[in-house]
A and B are shown apart, each in its own frame.
Chain A
């Protein structure tokens, strides 16, 4: 196994509680990454400092708070590896996530992106009552940044995640990838775990969610209609 070709980009915004586990998950990969880049998106809780202190080898990029898309994009631009894998600061990978995805890349020269499946889990630090109150769905095909392995050059060719869209930024990015005709391989293995906790950065404003839905669908219908 050839190590050292993947840059792991971890955007973080006020996630001191979980970022150590995320970094640990990246560091314990069976195929060690070339580097781990923590992109501090203007945290005020010392998230990035905590990660840097606990893991001195981690690279740190600091930004004023500007959203997860810009944080991912800046991390990708700073990456030195041939490949990029994104991991959110509260999520976890299986130990062989990168190894299996790199193997898929090597076995499928036409592949531009390799995805895996993901499953949501309730953070174990929550109280039993709180944990029992959540209803989770099963495994999903991972059209999610944390499930992806992509060449840096290909990621930059897409223009990165849309920084002007606060909701559905990943959906829009995957649409762009589809339009570009990037061959995407989906591994049928569960390699990513998305943590559910009390501070997930999720939009709760119904009006904003609805507007985001319509904006996305209007744009997509316009593209389809316009050829």
Chain B
């Protein structure tokens, strides 16, 4: 198992949840990204999820999606196309980082709690 931490900018949270649903195991995965409780240095808001997954699951995240669990595939595909692996979080797309320590992953992406 590897740990993957994914951040979704506020405008893409709904689509990111459709991507999570298309990659998920139950309809509840449509609730993967919750409230936008994190922010970057410029104050832009993000929702974050952090999960354990297999190498194969990570590979599938970059492969063409198959309709599953009633996911809105248009939204899911659109968000998937914005995904980048590593780097600072951006409002242009979702960002995923593989790091065993989720807090270190947030640091890598320049994200902190919006407390």
The answer to whether A and B belong to the same complex is: no
